[in-house]
Amino acid sequence: MIKAGIIGATGYAGGELVRILLGHKNVKIEWFGSRSYVGEKYASIYRNMFELIEEECLDDNIAELAERVDVIFTATPQGYLASLLNEDILHKVKVVDLSADYRIKDVSVYEKWYQIAHKSPQFIKEAVYGLCEINREQIKKARLVANPGCYTTCSILTAYPLVKEGLIDANSLIIDAKSGTSGAGRGAKAPNLFCEVNENMKAYGVASHRHTPEIEEQLSYAAGENVRISFTPHLVPMNRGILVTGYALAKEGLTDQKVRDVYEAYYGKEKFIRLLEQGVCPETKWVESSNYVDIGFQIDERTQRIIIMGALDNLVKGAAGQAVQNMNLLFGEKESEGLEFVPVFP
């Protein structure tokens, strides 16, 4: 039985981690960490856990936690884990970090985009970027996994095979992305209030969103050269979901069959990636509350561009589900254990 601890258990991603891990046959949650709710019953914060969880919330003492569990999930703001992580902790436990602290290999890029100083850059090199479909073998051997974000997971998985195989001009890629409001977290912020979000759609972080360098770095590895993209996120009035639409110049002679063959070669055996039938576009409602990513594409011969589309649930495959998928790899579990639930509709 894997003993797990969660720091940030009362945020949206942390709450989703709890929900998923409760259904994992080989995991016991030993620590519900939440600085804001220490001493309060977890089920009093999330009433869906009534009579399912009797424990109270504990603090965020990561040193004590490392003595009691096998794996620590940190569903915390940027900078938290970097300020506390040390060799002693990593010697005792595996760590899956849902923040961006160890996702970007160049510390100067991280500090520029996140506007904070990195407190433990010595661990950046060894951290494995936790995109299971791409880095599966490296994850299995890791002590520290940098769990990718929601926009990045959807954007990278949608574009990666085409960039890797040189079927598109990667530097022409424009990504237009939409997210439900849970992606902004559970904190009270005026821009996320009901009256601000309802009946509205808006772009934000234009030419400055912090997921941009993460997407660029991973696609650069695929391309074998530096890649620069345009990425614009939008907030839409729904609880969950990410929809990515990418536009790129197609290499000469690109056909539907060639694109499909490449996607099938990369993802045909992947449990959680579903390549849709020709002419079918991904929709967030068909992946809600699941660990699936739906991918579709359309070649526009008139403009010599390919339109690539992806959809996922930002709290599951975009956060907690992916973290559990990474944990399964770390501990030799079946990769899909605890994650084989059907998308919810309606």
Residues 69 and 185 in one domain: no
Which of 59, 92, 126 is where one domain is finished?
126
What are the beta bridge partners of residue 78?
A: none
116 and 217 part of one domain: no
| Same domain? 122 vs 155 | no
167 and 27 in a common domain: no
Task: Provide the pLDDT for residue 193.
Answer: 85
Please check whether residues 163 and 294 belong to one and the same domain. yes
What is d(CA 293, CA 47) in angstroms, rounded to the nearest whole number?
29
Decide if 78 is inside a domain. Answer: yes
Q: What count of other Cβ atoms lies within 10 Å of the Cβ of residue 193?
A: 11
pLDDT given at position 220: 98
The CATH code of the domain that includes 161 is 3.30.360.10
What residues pair up with 243 in beta bridges, in sequence order? 178, 311
**Whether residues 115 and 194 fall in one domain:** no
State how many domains the chain has.
2
Around Cβ 155, how many Cβ atoms within 10 Å? 30
Pair 68, 163 in one domain: no
Residues 159 and 304 in one domain: yes
pLDDT at 257: 97
Confirm whether 329 is domain-assigned.
Answer: no
Confirm whether 335 is domain-assigned.
no
- DSSP assignments along 102-118, one per residue: TT-S-HHHHHHHH-S--
Q: Does some domain include residue 158? A: yes
pLDDT at 326 (0 to 100): 98
Residue 325 lies in a domain: no
- For the sheet with 144-146, list strands across it: 27-33, 2-7, 71-74, 94-97, 144-146, 128-129
Element at 261 (helix H, strand E): helix 256-267
Supply the pLDDT for residue 276.
Answer: 98
Q: Which domain holds residue 64?
A: 2-126
57, 150, 154, 195: the active-site residue: 150
Nearest to 77 by CA among 60, 94, 93, 56: 60
Determine the 3-state secondary structure of 262 from DSSP: helix
Tokens of 204: 């934000």
pLDDT at residue 186, rounded to an integer? 83
Please say if 57 is a catalytic residue. Answer: no
Task: Specify which residues 182 forms β-bridges with.
Answer: none
Residues 228 and 297 in one domain: yes
For position 95, what pLDDT does the model report? Answer: 98
* Residue 191: per-residue pLDDT: 82
Asked if 114 and 164 sit in the same domain, the reply is: no
Question: pLDDT tens string for the chain (346 positions)?
Answer: 999 999 999 999 999 999 999 999 999 999 999 999 999 999 999 999 999 999 999 999 999 999 999 999 999 999 999 999 999 999 999 999 999 999 999 999 999 999 999 999 999 999 999 999 999 999 999 999 999 999 999 999 999 999 999 999 999 999 999 999 998 888 778 888 889 899 999 999 999 999 999 999 999 999 999 999 999 999 999 999 999 999 999 999 999 999 999 999 999 999 999 999 999 999 999 999 999 999 999 999 999 999 999 999 999 999 999 999 999 999 999 999 999 999 999 9
Calculated CA dihedral for residues 161, 341, 135, 77, nearest 10 degrees: 110
